Chains A and B, each alone.
Chain A
Amino acid sequence: MFKYKKDPTAKAKRLSSYKPGSFLYVVNYVSQSKSAMAGFCFIALLLILSFLTPYIFKYGYREINVRMQYALSSLEHPFGCDEVGRDIMVRIFYGAKYTISIGFFSTFCAAICGIILGAAAGYFGGLVDTLIMRALDVFQSFPTILLAIAISAVFGPGYWKVILACGITGIPSYARMMRANILTVRGSEFIEAAASINCSTGRIILKHVIPNAISPLIVQMAMGVASAGLTASALSFLGFGVVPPTPEWGAMLSTARAYIREYPHMVMFPGLFIMLTVLSLNLVGDAIRDALDPKLKN
């Protein structure tokens, strides 16, 4: 580790041994960025704590203790307690996996649907393109949160339904991006070169077009996790999200809102964790973007 720091070219040399854009290249690049590693460690720690909550902490996330209502921070309850005396720290850690996993899953769904739609629109063009893109235009003409609310209102609250709502609202941006990338890559000379050496259409798409069109999407996904998590929290905050008593952070904020004047700690801690998580995800996303964006390379 210290050897690399002394020799500034070592990083470049080590990176060049991987295929640019390959998984190992990205991992290597990201692992060399201090801020990204800090973000990654924070998320990882949060997730570990979240799954181990029952074994680590004295209290359960739904354990009510009326005597501790609105308790402030203490050694016993570092983040204090909520309106029915549940330990806020335990609830935050337990709820971490919901906020983060909603972010990941919904981004994943959005990206898959977006890539398929965008690739179809970009590759086939013509009527297919028009139909898909106009339909997505309709989607995009609603503000994201409003659309998410509308979808949740149709499906009702619940963990998977929030993922669905957040996922659907994310589709248009991925589809648009994929379509644009496909169009750029299709015009490159190496695609013509592939045709000239008798590549089949399928092979051209799979081997030459997709791998070169997908990396900006991965960047978008890395950044999208944070914003999907935020949307999920917002939905829960508005009462359309994860059903209580599941301690989703947005839901916690929503409940605590009523007591913001008297007991600000109830709002502060979930808010702080939403902020830190989004920041961490963005830091990692930034590093992935740097690793994948060819424009930033010399």
Chain B
Amino acid sequence: MAETTLEKKTFLSVENLLVQYKLSGETVYAVNNVSFTVAKGTTLGLVGETGAGKTTIAKAILRILPDHSLKGISGSVVFDGKDLLKLPETEMRSYRGKNISMIFQDPMTALNPVKTVVDQIAEGIALHQNMNKANARIKAIEMLETVGISADRADEYPHQFSGGMKQRVVIAIALACNPDLLIADEPTTALDVTIQAQVLDLISSLQQKLGTSMILITHDLGVVAGTCDAVAVVYAGEIIEYGSKEDIFDHPMHPYTVGLFGALPDLKKNVNRLSPIVGLPPDPTVAYTDSCPFAERCPHVAPQCREKKPHNAEVSQGHFVRCHLAGEIAGKAAP
């Protein structure tokens, strides 16, 4: 971590990640050829709707996908020069929690109800940092204070905390071992707006303090706008648009991204009707090998969209769009 030369380098790069599930005899194409990179100290937002494959991407990086339903996984997840997908399980275990940790969506179920919060934090510290129990406890209490919970509540059980406080505990557990990468899966979806603001604020201030990189998974474009540096829009298990926050929010190119912004009620503007994206989310059991998965719902659909899969085109420096008509639509559909 001390090597300053590595600072600017991308230290996580996911390439051509492909995950398929088996579900009652059918194949679910959950993640299809996804590639992205995360630079040291930055935050990547993975945005998409329910079932788009965001969480599967995160779980594939951590290799915690359920074995019994997994049909195939390929590609590479290079972290600090090592391909995580090729590591033996024992070695992988030393990465989880220590180098990479994850915050789950629901703080109500992410904590063990029969252990005090301080024990739950200390557990990871003792395991990964070879500390004895007493020292781990001291470190755990420090972590609790960092996330804004006073030390005298350390020996309480999860049910004695409110939702927002529980999520703070979860964050403390995730950050206890100073991970290099934090994966936050909808960390604030279960929380109220004012609590959400507190938690997001906490995550970003801790991230800056510790220099952690983050992958933030969310369906809320507003949350992305406030916290991320780069954004990847996920649709039907593919990244259909990828770029810096400015690229995506100021110049969305893919009709789906444009549609997402259009469907959002705007606080600043008074519009009479929203413009929803027509149709329904894609069927994950269909492999869109030679068509664009968004073709059925796309307002700009052209014949080639149904015949050929669009390739990933770089429309400007670092801004990738997977659409045949990217150049043509952009002018018309700017928000």
Shortest beta-carbon distance from A287 to chain B in Å: 15
- Say if the beta carbon of A188 comes within 8 Å of chain B: no
Give chain B residues whose Cβ lies under 8 Å from the Cβ of A8: 24-26
Shortest Cβ distance from residue B299 to the other chain A in the assembled complex, whole angstroms: 31
Docked CA distance A11–B24 (Å) = 9
Is B23 on the interface with A (CB-CB < 8 A)? yes
**CA A11 to CA B23, docked complex, whole Å:** 13
Contacts of A9 in B (CB 8 A): 25-26
Shortest C-beta distance, B24 to chain A (Å), equals: 6
Contact call B25/A298, Cβ cutoff below 8 A: no
**Please, which residues of chain A bring their CB within 8 A of the CB of B26?**
8-9, 12
Q: Give chain A interface residues in 84-128, CB to chain B under 8 Å.
A: none
Residues in B neighbouring A11, C-beta threshold 8 A: 24-25
A7 to chain B, nearest CB (A): 9
Tell me, rounded to whole Å, the shortest Cβ–Cβ distance linking B130 to chain A: 41
Cα–Cα distance between A8 and B26 once the two chains are bound (Å):
7
CA–CA, A12 and B26, complex, Å = 10
B16-39 contact mask (Cβ, 8 Å, vs A): 1 or 0: 000000011110000000000000
Which chain A residues border B25 with CB–CB below 8 Å?
A: 8-9, 11-12
A122 to chain B, nearest CB (A): 26
Q: Which residues of A contact B24 (CB under 8 A)?
A: 8, 11-12, 298
Task: List the B side residues contacting A298 at CB < 8 Å.
Answer: 23-24
Q: How many angstroms from the CA of A287 to the CA of B25 in the assembled complex?
A: 17
Residue of B nearest to A297 (CB): B24
A256 to chain B, nearest CB (A): 44
Could you say which residues of chain B place their CB within 8 Å of the CB of A12?
Answer: 24-26
Give chain A nearest CB distance to B239 CB in angstroms: 25
Q: Which residues of chain A from 3 to 27 have a CB within 8 Å of any chain B CB?
A: 8-9, 11-12
Shortest distance in angstroms between A11's beta carbon and chain B's nearest beta carbon?
7
| CB nearest neighbor in A for B28 | A298
Q: How far apart are B27's CB and chain A's nearest CB, in angstroms?
A: 9
B9 to chain A, nearest CB (A): 42
Kindly report which residue of chain B lies nearest to residue A11, judged by CB atoms. Answer: B25
CB distance from B22 to the nearest CB of A (A): 10
Instruction: Identify the closest chain A residue to B27 (Cβ).
Output: A8
Shortest A13–chain B CB gap in Å is: 11
Cα–Cα distance between A8 and B23 once the two chains are bound (Å): 10
Q: Which B-chain residue is minimally distant from A9 (CB atoms)?
A: B26
CA distance A212 to B25 in the complex (A): 28
Query: How far is A9 from B27 in the complex, measured between Cα atoms in Å?
Result: 10
Query: Could you say which residues of chain A place their CB within 8 Å of the CB of B23?
Result: 298
The chain A residue with its CB closest to the CB of B285 is: A9
- Mask for B141-159, Cβ within 8 A of A = 1, else 0? 0000000000000000000
- How does the 8 Å CB contact mask read for B176-191 relative to A, with 1 for contact and 0 for none? 0000000000000000
- Tell me the complex Cα distance, A12–B24, Å: 8
With A and B bound together, what is the CA distance between A9 and B26 in angstroms? Answer: 7
How far does the Cβ of B202 sit from chain A's closest Cβ, in whole Å? Answer: 34
Closest Cβ neighbor of B25 among chain A residues: A8
Closest chain B CB from A264 CB (angstroms): 42
Min CB–CB distance A210 → chain B (angstroms)? 29
8 Å CB interface, A129-176 against B: none
Q: How far is the CA of A9 from the CA of B23 in the complex (A)?
A: 10
User: Nearest Cβ in chain A — how far from B21, in angstroms?
Assistant: 11
In the complex, A116 Cα to B63 Cα: how many Å? Answer: 49
In whole angstroms, what is the CA distance A11 to B25 when docked?
9
Q: How far is the CA of A231 from the CA of B24 in the complex (A)?
A: 37
Interface residues of B in 26-68 (CB under 8 A from A): 26
Chain B, 200-218, contact with A by CB distance < 8 Å: what is the 0/1 string? 0000000000000000000
- In the assembled complex, the CB of A56 is this many whole angstroms from the nearest CB of chain B, namely 42
CB distance from B229 to the nearest CB of A (A): 36
Looking at the assembled complex, report how far the CB atom of B217 sits from the nearest CB atom of chain A, in whole angstroms.
Answer: 22
Tell me, rounded to whole Å, the shortest Cβ–Cβ distance linking A298 to chain B. 6
Task: Tell me, in angstroms, the Cα distance from A297 to B23 when the chains sit together.
Answer: 10
Interface string of A70-93 (1 = CB under 8 A from B): 000000000000000000000000
Q: A8-B24, A11-B24, A12-B25 are in contact. List 7 more A-B contacts (CB 8 A).
A: A8-B25, A8-B26, A9-B25, A11-B25, A12-B24, A12-B26, A298-B23
Q: Which chain A residues have a beta carbon within 8 Å of chain B's beta carbons?
A: 8-9, 11-12, 298
- Lowest 7 CB-CB distances: which A-B pairs, in order? A8-B25, A298-B23, A9-B26, A8-B26, A12-B24, A298-B24, A11-B25
Listed by A's residue number, 12 A-B pairs whose Cβ atoms lie within 8 Å are: A8-B24, A8-B25, A8-B26, A9-B25, A9-B26, A11-B24, A11-B25, A12-B24, A12-B25, A12-B26, A298-B23, A298-B24
